[in-house]
A = this chain, B = another copy of it.
Amino acid sequence: MSYPIKSVNIIGSGNVATQLTLKLHQLGIQINQVFSVSIENATTLAKKVGSSPINDLNKLTSADLNLLMIKDDLIEKVATHPNLINSFLAHTSGSISMDALKANRRGVFYPLQTLTKDKTAKWEEIPLLIEASVEKDKSGLLELAERISKVVKEVDSEKRKHIHLAAVFVSNFINHLLVIGEDILNNKDMDFDILKPLIFEQVLKIKDHQPIKIQTGPAKRGDQKIINEHLNLLSDQPEYAAIYDLLSKSIKKRHGDEL
């Protein structure tokens, strides 16, 4: 085969599969087939890009690249299918090693972003982290990635796992703190909206500042009186009190030299 990659099979029909398939189609890449265990889901996506839906991997025909975009815990098993082993196969997961794939020609094409089916992804700003077992295939994936995004990086499985771990902190865990903030206000019959200007201002500050340089609050300044009052306010929500306590101690420790 020769590069650039001109045809792709899509294995999966979830959020990442939907958004990436639409983008590949837009770039003029041929989407040969769309597989999903649900033929309805495969059909919905295939229709949007002039492709053929299948729900049986035995029917998979060849393409320059098979993109495996399914749940993490299914990747290793599905990747053993003969039609995938004997092809160029890449997954799109942050936390699964490339070598979970059994194909000789294997790779990773990981978009570092939270995607949803319904909202068109701004692909040009989404970092794409690339890995491949064969040098020529890596060139092919990098070339494809650079047509999609301005931020393309070659990252091995070990580093990618740490990026995914950090992403859990700054994405999933940050969202949970927003849930807690809303819970605290709702408990007192107040609306979460009042916090939004503060949230946006705080987070957008990292455009110009390192997070460590802009830490503020009672824990940072060692204000134990306020910390105790806050723990007291949370006495009927012990899980949130435990989080408050642990994060305050962590802030104090991380900034310990300054106190």
Contact = CB atoms under 8 A, between A and B. Distances in A.
A72 B222 CA distance: 12
A210 interface: yes
Interface stretch (A21-29, A131-139, A191-199): A191-199
A204 B113 CA distance: 13
Interface in A155-192: 158-159, 161-163, 165-182, 184-185, 187-188, 190, 192
Contact of A215 (B112, B179, B229): B179
A95 interface: yes
A259 to B, nearest CB: 15
Contacts of A226: 72, 95
Interface string A192-225: 1011111111111111001110111111100101
B163 A185 contact: yes
B229 A172 contact: no
A220 B179 contact: no
Nearest to A167: B198
Contact of A203 (B192, B200, B215, B223): B200
A197 B126 contact: yes
B162 A190 contact: yes
Given A176-B215, A197-B126, A181 B166 contact: yes
